[in-house]
Structure 1
Amino acid sequence: MQCYGEYVSGSISDEQRKNVILNSCPGAGACGGMYTANTMASAIEAMGMSLPYSSSIPAEDPLKLDECRLAGKYLLELLKMDLKPRDIITQKSLRNAMVIVMALGGSTNAVLHLIAIARSVGLELTLDDFQKVSDEVPFLADLKPSGKYVMEDVHKIGGTPAVIRFLLEHGYLDGDCMTVTGKTMAENAQSYPRFPDGQDIIRPVSNPIKKTGHIQILRGNLAPEGSVAKITGKEGLYFSGPALVFEGEEAMLAAISENPSSFKGKVVVIRGEGPKGGPGMPEMLTPTSAIMGAGLGKDVALLTDGRFSGGSHGFVVGHICPEAQEGGPIGLVQNGDLISIDVQKRAINVELTDAELNERRKKWSPPPYKANRGVLHKVVLHNLASEPFIAYVINGRLLNEHMFFHFQYIKNVQPASVGCVTDE
């Protein structure tokens, strides 16, 4: 993805860019780094909800087929034992999942997904829980996107089980948690390998990449309900600059393609990409990659009410709540407003007084929702047909404000701070 930024900045030719694209994927399976797929696979294994080694065995390894066969065997055993997800997913096992996300430098998407998983079994997991774990667990894995290794390298040194054993031995995980094997994590770990001597993929606790976790929860007048930053250590801990505001990622990409140098020193704000405004809270991987590829990684911060791919890196803050579509302060920011991000203070603020923000809010009106055609449109119209009165009200608004999608998805989706769940 970064080659696009390199191309628009003139660092590489279009032919070189196309060559990168043609050779980017070496084979089947998930993206190799500690991106969202490998993050969640590792977290689920640490939670006890998947079989040992399943998160780190490469897709094309013959062991992957053996793993699939084992899954069928263990499903039958789980039925016999009457062991259900609610018996495995507990506050303690969720903490185990958060611990491995921090140690491996995982994706910020883990915040959304683990909160949603917790809510699905009637448990509460909050942004503050992530901050607490981040304060207690060091960042140890030298994995892409911030490092140099990939998940296959982790597999070669014992895979996720070796990581789990290492973290257990250092007291970061709760070994009493039940797993899908019918045994506790500690019982499973008795057969797990230790890291081989000389490996430098997972750092020792005494020499971490960062003494605390890379995921930081920031609040302030720009994100009163919280935001999620991914700070691996190389970006610095403070950034301040004038806002450069875009209504959606497409507008930002068009601007950086035309004049990447105009972004230097700015705090790029991409809004209207939240759960309701997106809709669906899309990932800002292309914008962050364009910034890094253009050589602006140390000169630009990016804020959004959308989210990030696990492949995103740089000085980035997402999940800003409330989102712009709901009248959050991010929707009131204007070009040139001074924004400061202080990771040590966990603060994200725009230099505007409450009175100035309130004055802008009086003049603000929500933009029309973006979903106005396709399958979602048909679903909504079908559902509304059985509710004549509601259909009349919603259809009236549909003609004026394109708000038909509101009743199906947009009305129900929760903020990012509570996992974007739609079924409550």
Structure 2
Amino acid sequence: MSEKKKNLRSQDWFGGMNKRGFIHRSWLRNQGYPTDLFQNRPVIGICNTWSELTPCNGHLREFAEIVKKGVLEAGGFPLEFPVTSLGETLMRPTAMLFRNLASMDVEESIRANPLDGVVLLTGCDKTTPSTVMGACSVDLPTIVVPGGPMLNGKFRGGEIGSGTFVWQIKEKVKNDDFQEEDLLEAEICAARSSGHCMTMGTASTMACMVETLGLTLPGAAAIPAVDARKKVLARMSGRRIVEMVREDIKLSDILTRQAFENAIITNAAVGGSTNFIIHLQAIAGRIGADLKLEDFDRLGSKIPLLVNLKPSGEYLMEDFFYAGGLPVVFKELEKHLHLDTITVNGKTLGENNRKAECYNRKVIASIDEPLLKEGGIAVLKGNLCENGAVIKPSAASPKLMQHEGRAVVFESIEDYHQRIDHPDLDIDENSIMVLKGVGPQGYPGMAEVGNMDLPEKLIKKGVKDMVRLSDGRMSGTAYGTVVLHISPESAAGGVLALVQNGDRIQLDVKNRRLQLLVDDDELARRKAAWVKPTPATERGYVNLYINHVQQADKGADLDFLVGNSGADVTRDAH
């Protein structure tokens, strides 16, 4: 793209030979910066989600230094800054509770400082959407550097997924005589290098999402964290962001309605996480794109599944990279995608991926011979989910996709943990497990607990899947016939709150229906007797979140954060 003439935003801080310019330059001088760095060079903020409490992002401190080299080589002035980091594996009650908080941190850090462009260093599940959401609200030139997946797990002659294996542990302990020493050995085998989960879980889904949206350099999503090519990509991203500032390519230029449609279609083809829906809708809300829950079904549910990765398939992200990565998927989807969408390198999606080649058809199938004719995510409607619910068919059991059963209700996650393995629990393989109180307001934060472990007594009988319903989420590494994101949630007075033990529930994925088979008069009586649960707390951010979080069908963002306000709404006191 041709270079546009643009006054650098940072020069409002550094350009004046007066008191204000003196203050802004002088205090940075103690870091040893020479005069020429302040003289009309693009100032690039490196937004780093590194933290020792976020294992997936533990290598990003090194990556920041690599990006800085690229920025300097292109004539920019790099300044790294930390933001709230969200580690899915350690944070309680759930990292999702803090996604919106982290986005506010990113937004205000960018807006308040003398930055002309931003590099987002991401990795673990929520660090990608939170940083992109925050950057959208400011709308400066921005590029994403995904931290990359771990190397494939290797365990006793086979491969082990860093997330998917977790959901098999209960079954292995009960049925396969897994002992403590077996689990300890599996732990290090499942996470043997830097990087995020190497399944097509939420972290990998988010990496694919940002590449499809056009926010990364081509091929970024699948490169393993420890591969030298990831370091090259980070360095080239540092160079490219300086050019983006000079060309004035902002997020709003890239994140068009067509780019969001591409993301939905591609997510279906790669078998991406259901969490994708929540995060893409939140990003769309920030940048101002009109995106509805129904779009995910309309655009994605008929797209063939092409990528054979766990939890929907057999392989892992390292194999995906060696097979050609996301560019191959774009090539296969040419007839379905908007190939003229612009990306951060100034070229279109079609131009970037025209020469992509597949090197392993076991990992990436052709569109003429897909793994499944229909991948994607189905959006359900019915009296149990008036505003919608979602299910991932590629991770579900075909025989349960049309099912009617008796509800076994757990009023909270604590109730579930207390009763699920009790020998007297009245449940069989045809029952439908119902979990309440795990939605955005209820948990709070909408935890990844929707894929409830099955009762011990049924696992011992060899039962491997049951229909499970909740207003929560599940990990992108999980699998099963699991209906998620029921909206309105139970804590907001949705019909889910009214379900009782023994009620009949009908799931019909083919016809996109989820129905509680209780008459309207009885539901009205139950609604009249329903009492809204007491909030988890009345202080701090959590209270703010409970009072302002939107429902799952709108992306669970805070209502006052929707829409962007631009970069220059701050005032200078100097």
Fold conserved (TM > 0.5)? yes
In the alignment, the residues of structure 1 paired with residue 525 and residue 265 of structure 2 have an alpha-carbon distance, to the nearest angstrom, of 43
Cα 1:7–1:204, aligned 2, differ >3 Å: closer, same or farther? closer
3-state secondary structure, aligned to 1:4? helix
Q: Deviations over 1:145-192 (max 9, x none)?
A: 121011111100111122222222xx12111000000111112123x4
2:56 corresponds to which residue?
Answer: none
2:338 corresponds to which residue?
Answer: 174
Contact 1:6 1:12 in 2 (8 A): no
Contact 2:301 2:375 in 1 (8 A): yes
Q: Shift in Å at residue 33 of structure 1?
A: 1.0
1:394 corresponds to which residue?
Answer: none
Q: Deviations over 1:17-48 (max 9, x none)?
A: 44433432122211111110111111110110
The structure 2 residue matched to 1:21, chosen from 154, 167, 187, is 187
| 2:268 is equivalent to residue 102 of structure 1 | yes
Q: Shift in Å at residue 10 of structure 1?
A: 4.2
The structure 2 residue matched to 1:201, chosen from 363, 366, 380, is 363
1:230 is aligned with what amino acid?
K
1:251 is aligned with what amino acid?
D
The structure 2 residue matched to 1:12, chosen from 177, 200, 217, is 177
TM alignment of 1:2-401, pairs within 5 A: 2-6=167-171, 9-15=174-180, 16-168=182-334, 171-190=335-354, 192-196=355-359, 199-232=361-394, 235-236=397-398, 237-259=401-423, 262-284=427-449, 287-288=452-453, 295-298=462-465, 300-371=466-537, 377=539, 379=540
The structure 2 residue matched to 1:409, chosen from 529, 545, 549, is 545
Q: What TM-score do the two structures reach when normalised by structure 1? A: 0.86
Q: What TM-score do the two structures reach when normalised by structure 2? A: 0.64
Cα 1:34–1:305, aligned 2, differ >3 Å: closer, same or farther? same
Give the paired residue count. 389
Tell me: higher relative CO, structure 1 or 2? Use CA pairs within 8 A at least 6 residues apart.
1
In the alignment, the residues of structure 2 paired with residue 257 and residue 8 of structure 1 have an alpha-carbon distance, to the nearest angstrom, of 14
Q: Deviations over 1:301-355 (max 9, x none)?
A: 1111011110121100100000000100111001111111100110001110111
3-state secondary structure, aligned to 1:320? strand
Q: Shift in Å at residue 137 of structure 1?
A: 1.3
In the alignment, the residues of structure 2 paired with residue 66 and residue 285 of structure 1 have an alpha-carbon distance, to the nearest angstrom, of 39
3-state secondary structure, aligned to 2:404? strand
In the alignment, the residues of structure 1 paired with residue 455 and residue 220 of structure 2 have an alpha-carbon distance, to the nearest angstrom, of 33
Q: Deviations over 1:364-418 (max 9, x none)?
A: 101111236xxxx3x36xxxxxxxxxxxxxxxxxxxxxxxx54x11111100000
Q: Shift in Å at residue 297 of structure 1?
A: 3.1
Contact 1:112 1:417 in 2 (8 A): yes
In the alignment, the residues of structure 1 paired with residue 554 and residue 328 of structure 2 have an alpha-carbon distance, to the nearest angstrom, of 32
- Identify unmatched segments of 5+ residues in structure 1: 381-404
Identity of aligned residues (%): 35
Contact 2:222 2:325 in 1 (8 A): yes
Cα 1:290–1:284, aligned 2, differ >3 Å: closer, same or farther? farther
Q: Shift in Å at residue 288 of structure 1?
A: 4.7
3-state secondary structure, aligned to 2:546? coil
1:296 is aligned with what amino acid?
V
3-state secondary structure, aligned to 2:549? coil
3-state secondary structure, aligned to 2:545? coil
TM-align CA RMSD: 2.2
Contact 2:268 2:301 in 1 (8 A): no
Q: Shift in Å at residue 204 of structure 1?
A: 2.2
In the alignment, the residues of structure 1 paired with residue 450 and residue 270 of structure 2 have an alpha-carbon distance, to the nearest angstrom, of 20
Q: Deviations over 1:256-301 (max 9, x none)?
A: 3444994522211111011111111111266258889775333x11
In the alignment, the residues of structure 2 paired with residue 18 and residue 5 of structure 1 have an alpha-carbon distance, to the nearest angstrom, of 14
